[in-house]
Amino acid sequence: MFLASENVRKTSADFTRHFDFLTKEFGVKFFSENYSIIGGDTYTRILRNEYVQVELYGDQSYFHLKIRRMVDGEPRPYEDNNISLGRLAVTVHGEDYKYAEFYPAIVGWERVLENTAILFKSSKDLFTSGNWDDIGNK
């Protein structure tokens, strides 16, 4: 049995610390987690409720996320049913959002997670009612 690396343990703890409000305030529950030792120690955490599936990926220097629409208890296919970090940032901040604020190599891992949590909190309706109307196709 393979034990998670220190990097994976830190990433998992960071996701809990920064995104725990999703379960406490938004009704999104833990669904699964995974980590890969192939090509790096990438950690994946998936949370979901009846409206969205939140997929967080990271490794202390890389961060990625997808928010997928849920229908009848199942995540919809990615095409036309997902929101990326950039798309959410454009929705919240407009076209002039600062890409660097979501890029760990520029602002650091912690800052990216803090900025992402702020985006999530600014988009609470998406998580609690499944309202994708404000997201559009930006």
Give the domain range for residue 97.
6-129
pLDDT given for residue 132 in this prediction: 78
The tally of domains found in the chain comes to 1
Q: Is the pLDDT of residue 138 over 50?
A: no
Confirm whether 98 is domain-assigned: yes
pLDDT given for residue 65 in this prediction: 95
pLDDT given for residue 16 in this prediction: 97
| Average pLDDT value for residue range 85-108 | 89
Question: Mean pLDDT of all residues in the chain?
Answer: 89
pLDDT given for residue 27 in this prediction: 95
CA dist., res. 98 & res. 89, Å (int): 9
Confirm whether 80 is domain-assigned: yes
Residue 87: exposure state from Cβ atoms within 10 A (0-12, 13-18, ≥19): middle
Q: Which of 8-22, 27-41, 115-129 has the lowest mean pLDDT?
A: 27-41
| Average pLDDT value for residue range 61-87 | 91
Cα–Cα nearest to 8, from 28, 35, 39, 48: 35
How distant, in Å, are the alpha carbons of 48, 58, 66, 117 from that of 23?
Answer: 9, 19, 17, 13
Confirm whether 135 is domain-assigned: no
pTM score above 0.75 = yes
pLDDT given for residue 28 in this prediction: 97
| Average pLDDT value for residue range 79-95 | 87
Question: In percent, how much of the chain has pLDDT > 90?
Answer: 66
| Average pLDDT value for residue range 86-100 | 86
Sign of CA dihedral 99, 102, 105, 111: positive
Question: Beta strands 63-71 and 74-75: pairing type?
Answer: antiparallel
Confirm whether 28 is domain-assigned: yes
pLDDT given for residue 39 in this prediction: 61
Under a CB-based contact definition with an 8 Å cutoff, are residues 97 and 80 in contact?
A: no
The values of phi and psi at residue 52, to 5°, are -140, 155
Q: Is the pLDDT of residue 6 over 60?
A: yes
